[in-house]
Homo-oligomer: A and B are copies of this chain.
Amino acid sequence: MAAMQSGERRTTLADVAAEAGVSVALASIVMRGASGAGAATRARVLEVAQRLGYQPDSRARLLRSGRSRLIGVVFDVRHPFHTDLLTGLYDAAGAVGYELTLSAVTPRRDERTAIDGLLQDRCEALVLFSPRTKVADLGVLAARMPVVAMMRPVRQRDVDVVRTDDARGSELAVDHLVSLGHRRIVHVDGGTMPGSSERRQGYVTAMTRHDLNEYIRIYPGGPGEGDGARAAEEMRNDPPSAVAMFNDLSATGLLDVLRGHGHRVPGDISVVGYDDSSFSRLAHIDLTTVAQDVDALAGGAVRRAVARIEGTDVEHREVVIEPRLVVRGTSASPTGESGPA
């Protein structure tokens, strides 16, 4: 019952070379697909490698070649959007011949630990999802290797930034509600969360643009369900006709209290979330929301990381991606008709 595999040594390039009757160097050439090997030999070596179950040792390979073609990614297991983004990142990195090495932030594993883990892995650039690390520390890190911060504006000349235009996202939400015929549109903000001030500002900008200054009303909120619920209670004695929320989670909290109080959504009040979280598309929630462009974000991050690694000059330090409105069932015209699309 004990492990049977512990005894046998892993098969190495030397084993393959010996078995095929060639030098280690030539075996290496064949395995890498480099030029400089005859067709017959190439076939023979490949056959032997296959037969012996040879797997190259990336550690040795990278140790020697210096380059690792590895991009380190720090993500947070608690954020569903991060895993969506991982999908895009794998695609984008694969397309330009880079690999990803992942390190997770969890409730009991902080960002510092996650980053340190990656540093030992000799990756050539770091992509950080919504980093909470202080700007100064990011600067120290960026002095050592290219660093791309995502979903967070960072004022540090060595740190690249790839993010969604959050102000624009709020504007899209307001524009949508206005186009449905709403005027009394309020906003529940995200408190001290990163991105909160941009989204708040976008709301104000759009309201002003539509000449609705008199209706501008901002409730203090936060990222959680409870924050949305609290805001819903607060607006009870003066209900608006539509609400633009800081994010999807707080939107569900608001929705719940609103409906509990007998308001029909979207009949009486329209609600727009932000993030297009996976649960927002559940039939049960069916939330109109602002989506971040995953592929554009991922592509931007990889392009930027690779440009820095390979020393290509880049135009702007910040890459700002356009958000997109996803119309679902929580928004309609104030008369009760369903919205366009």
Interface residues of A (CB under 8 A from B): 1-6, 53, 55-60, 62-63, 77-78, 80, 83-84, 86-87, 90-91, 94, 99, 101-104, 106-109, 117, 119-122, 142-146, 158, 225, 229, 249, 252-253, 255-256, 278-279, 282-285, 308-309, 311, 313-314
Contacts and interface: CB of A to CB of B under 8 A. Distances in A.
Give this chain's copy count.
2
A170 to B, nearest CB: 23
A308 B6 CA distance: 9
Contact of A77 (B5, B83, B143, B311): B83
A5 B58 contact: no
Contact of A55 (B94, B120, B285): B120
A176 to B, nearest CB: 22
8 contacts: A5-B143, A5-B145, A57-B122, A80-B80, A87-B109, A94-B109, A225-B283, A256-B284
Nearest to A91: B108
B80 A106 contact: no
B283 A146 contact: no
Contacts of A63: 57, 59-60, 63
Nearest to A104: B86
A284 B87 contact: no
Contacts of A2: 311, 313
B122 A3 contact: no
Contacts of A314: 1
A283 B253 contact: yes
A104 B90 contact: yes
Highest count of chain B CB atoms <10 Å: which of A57, A283, A284? A284
A176 B120 CA distance: 50
Contact of A86 (B56, B77, B225, B283): B77
B4 A143 contact: yes
A252 B145 contact: no
A220 to B, nearest CB: 20
A97 to B, nearest CB: 14
Contacts of A282: 225, 249, 252, 256, 279, 285
A206 to B, nearest CB: 27
A215 to B, nearest CB: 27
B122 A108 contact: no
